[in-house]
Amino acid sequence: MFGIRGSANRAQLDGGEGPATPSAPIAPASLIVRDVLKRKAMVSGRVVADAVRCVECGICTYNCPLGIDVRKHVRQAIPISDHACLTCGECVARCPRGTLRFEESSVFTGEPGGSGKR
């Protein structure tokens, strides 16, 4: 329905910049769907990056409330799957170049993530 191959975008979840398709007034049902999706992304999501969009400006790292060096993960093409990451979305929302996005990860299937903080 949205995103690409199972990925969810914070702007869409928050209704930030709005969907690309012409939008009718938002119905309460879709608000609930959005909320559910947002919570789902926060619980089961992880932050991944499109390194080619990154210019290493550091806004992500600077705004991470936990001090994770998000920029370094991006440069090394590693998902921000640090166990400390809250998936709060600060870095996703603040990146001026749309480098970061949420991606669903299956925590129960033992999918390999990154090796944590570097």
Residues that bind another protein (CB under 8 A): 2-4, 9, 11-12, 17-23, 50, 52-53, 55-59, 61-62, 71, 75, 96-98
Place of tokens 């608000």: 31
State the Cα–Cα distance between residues 71 and 96, nearest whole angstrom: 13
Nearer to another protein, 38 or 110 (CB): 38
- 10 Å CB burial of residue 15 (0-12, 13-18, 19+) is middle
- 10 Å CB burial of residue 68 (0-12, 13-18, 19+) is buried
Nearer to another protein, 39 or 97 (CB): 97
Nearer to another protein, 98 or 107 (CB): 98
CB of 30 to another protein, least distance (A): 16
CB of 19 to another protein, least distance (A): 7
Paired tokens of 62: 């600077």
CB of 108 to another protein, least distance (A): 25
Q: What is the CA radius of gyration of the chain?
A: 14
CB of 50 to another protein, least distance (A): 6
